[in-house]
Amino acid sequence: MNELIEMGKRARKASGQLANLNTDQKNEVLLLVAVLLEKHADLILDANAKDLELGKGMGLKGAIVDRLTLSGDRITGIAEGLREIVQLEDPIGEIVEMKKRPNGLLIGKKRVPLGVVGVIYESRPNVTADVAGLCIKTGNVCLLRGGKEAFQSNNAIVSIFHEAIEHCGLDPNMVQLVQNTTRESAVAMMKLNAYLDILIPRGGAGLIRTVVQNSTVPVIETGVGNCHVYVDEFADLAKAVSIVYNAKTHRPGVCNAAESLLVHEKVADIALPAIGKALSEGGVEIRGDEITCRLIPEAKIAVEKDWATEYLDLIISSKVVESVEAAVDHINTYGSMHSESIITENYSHAQYFLDRVDAAAVYVNASTRFTDGFEFGYGAEIGISTQKLHARGPMGLKELTTNKYVIYGSGQTR
């Protein structure tokens, strides 16, 4: 697709400049974008109104419309997000593990930008500014391919980035929005190996699966979370109830919400009725195995598919297991390697769970809802990786970098 090849060429050119800016220059751009976003909020809201009108005409549903909708407050929030990125330490340029080899070569590992980052995303226009901000701070050019439902809003936001970048005398091609929002442009991005160093899909499970299966550009798989809370034989019941309740109900539509409850058979009689009561009062539908259904009158019977389902809703599956080993087996079989928690006061069970569960984040006695760049203390995130390569868990600034060996010689040969 010619549009993308041309964008790719411009991106590579801009990359040479952006990768070598110092932190002050990058922060200057970001601060100016924040000012201009607030100053031109009306332009963004006008564009957003057009998107919403078109979207409603196309029959978009409630949750999507909510994610698509901007307001003065949301724009202020976006600007604040950029100011927070300015405050974060710039990871670029640091040289680690510098050492002198026996032959006199001085070898170090320098942290450098990835180069050109592609992102395919849906609905939420704030992703445009978040991604562009994180990329500028890390010296990465970004190629943004948002959904057609948010095109006007995304375009307005990118125009403001361009205004700020040009005001700073820099190449506006460091942030580019793909103008074609058909399926073809997404497919073309997945094959743009010559110009993209990485492709990150942000959105629903369907989008992520499509990108993983079709992209020849290296992909970071993000965000699908079939997270479990396991209530061990040695659980503190009060902690169990509050953590399960929090993990399920605090924000059910996000990837680190719990989707499945496992309870040790020795405490099922006591724990399940207590947890069931709390969840039911919170409006949660419970889909359980036979024992769960016997102990929680409100529960419906679960089918095999429930164990593997990310509901993203006020629904939870529930199963009684005979041991911590069985709980870990179940999680490693059905989980999506996102966030998993054990509730226990037993040292060996806690260690076993931490060692054996294969996930990005494994918790003892805490809610799965903490898997998040801000909660972990890394600031803004570009996504939560559920794969093992390159980055796992919340991806912040460091995860948008790679390394380059720099070697200082004095004539060495082999």
Interface residues with a copy of itself (CB under 8 A)?
A: 16, 20, 99, 101, 105, 107, 110, 114-115, 193, 197-198, 212-213, 216, 218-220, 236, 238-239, 242-243, 245-247, 250, 332, 354-356, 358-367, 369-371, 375-377, 387-390, 392-393, 402-414
Q: How far is the CB of 320 from a copy of itself (least distance, A)?
A: 22
Per DSSP bridges, beta strands 258-264 and 315-321 are parallel
Closer to a copy of itself by Cβ: residue 66 or 408: 408
Closest separation between CB of residue 361 and a copy of itself, Å? 4
Q: What φ, ψ does residue 385 adopt, rounded to 5°? A: -80, 130
Q: Which pairing describes strands 227-231 and 339-343: parallel, antiparallel, or unpaired?
A: parallel
Of residues 187 and 212, the one with the C-beta less far from a copy of itself: 212
Residue 96's CB is within 10 A of a number of other CB atoms, namely 9
Alpha-carbon separation of residue 233 from 33, 136, 244, 264, 364 (angstroms): 53, 49, 15, 5, 14
Of residues 59 and 102, the one with the C-beta less far from a copy of itself: 102
Q: How far is the CB of 54 from a copy of itself (least distance, A)?
A: 34
DSSP string, 142-198: EEEE--GGGHHHHHHHHHHHHHHHHHTT--GGGEEE-S--SHHHHHHHHT-TTT-SE
Minimum distance from residue 68 beta carbon to a copy of itself (Å)? 25
Kindly state the smallest distance separating residue 2's Cβ from a copy of itself, in Å: 20
* Residue 377 C-beta: closest distance to a copy of itself, Å: 6
| Beta carbon of residue 38, minimum distance to a copy of itself (angstroms, whole number) | 29
Minimal distance in Å, beta carbon 329 to a copy of itself? Answer: 9
- Residue 55, CA distances (Å) to 130, 184, 201, 384 in order: 23, 20, 22, 28
Residue closer to a copy of itself by CB (options 152, 222) is: 222
Q: How far is the CB of 69 from a copy of itself (least distance, A)?
A: 24
Residue 143 tokens read as: 């190629």
Under a CB-based contact definition with an 8 Å cutoff, are residues 412 and 103 in contact? yes
Task: List, in order, residues 6 or more apart from 153 with CB less than 8 Å away.
Answer: 44, 47, 48, 51, 68, 70, 125, 128
Sign of CA dihedral 24, 26, 29, 30: negative
Residues 184 and 355: their CA atoms lie apart, in Å, by 43
* The two three-digit tokens of residue 240, written as one number: 């169990």
Beta carbon of residue 20, minimum distance to a copy of itself (angstroms, whole number): 6
Q: What are the φ and ψ backbone dihedral angles of 264, each rounded to 5 degrees?
A: -65, 140
| Sequence-separated (6 or more) residues with CB below 8 Å from residue 41 | 72, 75, 76
Residue closer to a copy of itself by CB (options 20, 71) is 20
The tokens describing 130, both together, are: 């978040």
In the complex with a copy of itself, the residue whose CB is nearer, 34 or 190, is 190
DSSP string, 192-213: -TTT-SEEEEES-HHHHHHHHH
Nearest residue (CB) to a copy of itself, 169 versus 377: 377
The residues, any chain, with a CB within 8 Å of residue 7's CB and separated by 6 or more, are 143, 173, 176, 178, 195
Q: How far is the CB of 122 from a copy of itself (least distance, A)?
A: 21
C-alpha angle 265-266-269 in degrees, rounded to nearest 5: 80
**Closer CB to a copy of itself, residue 39 or residue 100?**
100
Q: Which is nearer to a copy of itself, 93 or 180 (CB)?
A: 93
For a copy of itself, give the closer residue by CB, 197 or 306: 197
Would you say 129 or 199 has its CB closer to a copy of itself?
199
316 vs 203: CA distance, rounded Å: 22
SS3 131: helix
